[in-house]
């Protein structure tokens, strides 16, 4: 944690503060919920797969079902937190999905589903906690983005589009809520070792089968499989450390880039012309 904390401003204390983590059944969300609890936060974790969150109770974390594509589910979740804890100090919007496939192959419904979770679910959770934060003049919203909001790759147009939307949304929101003492932070992870990657590349191969993009999709799946190597991908706990640092910082950064190769990728996108970047990313295929 010292590596991350060294970049943070003087920290607040997690004791007595209430944090919500969405998408907490696995990966970054699960790790963030645990580390926030260990930092002293009263953590409320939500996800659709509540059975996979049962062990979080041993950390004192409250587990509730949460589907960020369902209005009633989101309202019930936030109401339960407010009834039980009386406030929300930190909202970690981690729930997200990614469906790989060529634009030509993926139905529009798949693109809408990714936006529904990655953008609109995030937005609605923010709407539900903002009134209380604004009234108290304090609060922190941490939106989990991706270096996918900075770079791009074939077969992930909808995912990259949704993460670009998350960044634009967060930047505008930051200006709106700043006068009320509310901070908005973006966490931009690089490649993370997770089951998410395995599911994504399996689906990519399936959706491309028999089509014009099948060979290229199979090559891309092999590239994605490289993330399973610990030398090329980062563990979810590294991102969780960053989330805790953002939650505790007295004056948080607006963006936290974290993970193997993340900073190099962001730098390359900033300095290379589009065609050069196309050649680099196209070479992965």
Active site residue ranges = 159
Angle at which helices 157-177 and 108-115 cross, to 10°: 30
Rounded distance between C-alpha atoms, residue 5 and residue 207, angstroms: 42
- Cβ 186 vs Cβ 227: under 8 Å: no
Q: How many CB atoms lie within 10 A of CB 26?
A: 16
Tokens read off for 232: 């090329």
Sheet (strand 62-65) strand order: 62-65, 42-47, 18-22, 90-93, 139-144, 182-189, 255-258
Using the 8-state DSSP alphabet, how is residue 197 labeled? H
Cα 266 to Cα 4, 95, 116: the distances in Å are: 18, 23, 26
Cα 54 to Cα 30, 73, 141: the distances in Å are: 11, 19, 25
Ordered DSSP codes for 210-233: TSTTHHHHHHHHHHHHGGGSTTTS
Beta strands 90-93 and 18-22 are parallel
Helix, strand, coil percent content, the chain, rounded in steps of 5: 55, 15, 30
């Amino acid at each position: 944690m010292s590596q991350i904390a060294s970049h943070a401003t003087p920290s607040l204390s997690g004791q007595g503060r209430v944090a919500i983590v969405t998408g907490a059944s696995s990966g970054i969300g699960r790790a963030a919920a645990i580390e926030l609890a260990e930092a002293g936060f009263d953590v409320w974790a939500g996800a659709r797969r509540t059975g996979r969150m049962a062990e979080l109770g041993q950390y004192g974390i409250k587990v509730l079902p949460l589907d960020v594509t369902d209005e009633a589910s989101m309202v019930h979740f936030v109401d339960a937190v407010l009834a039980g804890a009386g406030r929300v100090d930190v909202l970690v919007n981690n729930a997200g999905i990614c469906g790989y496939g060529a634009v030509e192959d993926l139905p529009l419904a798949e693109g809408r589903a990714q936006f529904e979770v990655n953008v609109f679910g995030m937005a609605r959770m923010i709407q539900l906690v903002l009134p209380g934060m604004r009234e108290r003049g304090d609060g922190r919203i941490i939106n989990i983005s991706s270096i996918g909001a900075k770079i791009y790759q074939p077969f992930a147009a909808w995912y990259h589009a949704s993460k670009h939307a998350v960044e634009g949304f967060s930047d505008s929101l930051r200006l709106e809520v700043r006068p009320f003492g509310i901070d908005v932070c973006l966490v931009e992870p690089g490649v993370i070792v997770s089951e998410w990657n395995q599911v994504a590349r399996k689906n990519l191969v399936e959706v491309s089968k028999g089509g014009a993009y099948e060979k290229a999709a199979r090559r891309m799946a092999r590239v994605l499989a490289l993330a399973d190597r610990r030398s090329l991908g980062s563990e979810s706990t590294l991102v969780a450390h960053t989330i805790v640092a953002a939650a505790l910082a007295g004056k948080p950064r607006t963006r936290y880039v974290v993970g193997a190769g993340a900073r190099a990728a962001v730098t390359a996108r900033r300095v290379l012309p589009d065609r050069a970047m196309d050649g680099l990313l196209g070479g992965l295929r």
